[in-house]
Amino acid sequence: MKIKLLYSCLLLAAAGSAFAQDTPDPAMVQKIREEGLNHSKVMDIAYHLTDASGPRLSGSPGLKRAQDWAVNELKTWGMVNAKREAWGKFGKGWEVQKNYVAMTAPYYHALIAIPKAWTPGTNGPIKGDVILVKADTLTDLDKYKGTLKGKVIIFDTKPGVERTFKADGIRYTDEQLDEMAKAKPQAPGAQRRGGPNSPQFTAMQKARALRAAINTFLQGESVGLVLTQARGSDGTVFTTNGASYADTAKAVSPELETSGEDFQRILRLVKAGEKVSIEADIKTQFFTDDLQGYNVVGEITGTDKKLKEQVVMIGGHLDSWHAATGATDNAAGSAVMLEVMRILKAVNFHPRRTIRIALWSSEEQGLFGSRGYVFNHFGDPKTMELKPEQSKVSAYYNLDNGSGKLRGIYLQGDSLAGPIFKAWLQPFKDLGAATVTISNTGSTDHVSFDAVGVPGFQFIQDPLDYGSRTHHSNQDTYDKLSEDDLKQAATIVASFVYNTSQRDDMIPRKELPKPQPTRN
């Protein structure tokens, strides 16, 4: 109760001053622009998080390498309290240590295929013939009993490869940005298409349950390998997990997400009655020595006696999927946020409020890193029992929509922040960032803050080829990063952090959300 009372006072105070003194200091804006646009280190940072570290699946050695590099770099730049901070139990680490699969009959063809995350290997080289398993219900499986040992299993799957006449890479048009700016606030209970209780969601759950049961059957039958069709085309393979990361996870068969072209070729041959043989050698390694999940944190300490207990937070998730180096998802956002900290140090800025960066882990499995951090520091969204720190965070800024430059910011319904952010974007009209929308954007770590009433924001970014090529794919590599876009983003975020830290009042807050007992 005490907490809530304090919160209400803050809300009034903030609201009262929302329109005051929010014109950015031109001198500091100029310093930040000069450092961010003309002395950028963002691509060098991105190199270390991608090429040098490798894939950064949660719990993997690659993520540990990137975290250690980031902690060390923050210290080198003069940040304080830079460390890996445990957020709670995650589960097993996993990485690919060998990945070879080819069709050997009717002729030789090496496949583009990626082990599904947290699936086992083949325990050495294997050879097997392909069997097309058709099962719409569990009883359909009976006829396969005792026939699948050592076989390579495929399922009848619609072709995913579609000829496209649309560009992979896109930027928002002025019309699209105007639409965003005109958006009306969303009703809190508004049901997302495909969200819980929607027909799509129910159908998906049903399909998942059947697939889980089939997996158990196949594993019991000791199949050699399962090949499923990946989303994507032209050699681009989008990846997922084939088993749980939990230390208690059920055993599954080795399973590869196979490029659409390779999968459909095998399927057509099998349906035509050809004998198709596969050879494979898949080695995956699990890591169970430390089941904890970790975030990276680091700070520039505030200097204002009254305000230094208050915090401006920035972040993005550092974990990625495993088939590439997660350059756009989300080394890009992580590199930008690290660059923001570097810029603020480089311009010798001594903030009133403390500035804290957090690079999350296990975002891809359910925002676990940020949720764990929020639970440990701010409160429990299930009960809305809040901790004192909850009242001390002015705002959290997140970046996790690829490599595209900033076009503006989502208010997540926090209308009182609108005029402030509009004023802060003024100096960056020439860089294409001017749109403030009341809309929510979801699916990443600012949501964890929003869930306990801490203002959490994500910026609007040009999509580029995030949806078509890189997001979760084997093609999410350093090459896909757009240098000029990342420099622009770091410059604008640095300016937002500067303004948030110097502002007399904290960013005004929305009404506290209701407890969400079903949240997991």
Is residue 36 part of the contact set for a second copy (CB under 8 A)?
A: no
Is residue 7 part of the contact set for a second copy (CB under 8 A)?
A: no
Is residue 274 part of the contact set for a second copy (CB under 8 A)?
A: yes
| Least CB distance to a second copy at residue 480 (A) | 7
Is residue 25 part of the contact set for a second copy (CB under 8 A)?
A: no
Residue 458 φ then ψ, to 5°: -125, 145
Is 208 in a helix, a strand, or coil? helix
Longest dimension (CA), the chain: 78
Is residue 54 part of the contact set for a second copy (CB under 8 A)?
A: yes
Report whether the peptide linkage leading into residue 197 is cis, meaning its omega lies within 30 degrees of zero: no
Q: How far apart are CA 347 and CA 335, in angstroms?
A: 18
In angstroms, what is the C-alpha Rg of the chain? 25
CB 318 within 8 A of CB 63: yes
DSSP string of 32-84? HHHHHHHS--HHHHHHHHTTTT----TTSHHHHHHHHHHHHHHHHTT-EEEEE
Stretch that binds a second copy, among 131-139, 256-264, 296-304, 416-424 (CB under 8 A): 256-264
Is 453 in a helix, a strand, or coil? coil
Is residue 270 part of the contact set for a second copy (CB under 8 A)?
A: no
Whose Cβ is closer to a second copy: residue 102's or residue 423's? 102
Is residue 170 part of the contact set for a second copy (CB under 8 A)?
A: yes
Is residue 235 part of the contact set for a second copy (CB under 8 A)?
A: yes
DSSP string of 342-400? HHHHHTT---SSEEEEEEESS-TTTSHHHHHHHHHHTEETTTTEE-GGGGGEEEEEE--
Is residue 91 part of the contact set for a second copy (CB under 8 A)?
A: no
Stretch that binds a second copy, among 51-59, 85-93, 286-294, 300-308 (CB under 8 A): 51-59
Stretch that binds a second copy, among 5-13, 78-86, 198-206, 228-236 (CB under 8 A): 228-236
* Those residues with Cβ within 8 angstroms of residue 208's Cβ, 6 or more apart along the chain or in another chain: none
Is residue 265 part of the contact set for a second copy (CB under 8 A)?
A: yes
Is residue 220 part of the contact set for a second copy (CB under 8 A)?
A: no
Binding mask 337-356 for a second copy (x = CB under 8 A): --------------------
Is residue 171 part of the contact set for a second copy (CB under 8 A)?
A: yes
Residue 148 φ then ψ, to 5°: -110, 0
Is residue 158 part of the contact set for a second copy (CB under 8 A)?
A: no
Residues engaged in binding a second copy (CB under 8 A): 47, 51-55, 61-62, 95-100, 102, 106-110, 112, 159, 161, 163-171, 233-237, 259-261, 264-265, 268-269, 272, 274, 324-325, 464-465, 469, 474-475, 477-480, 482
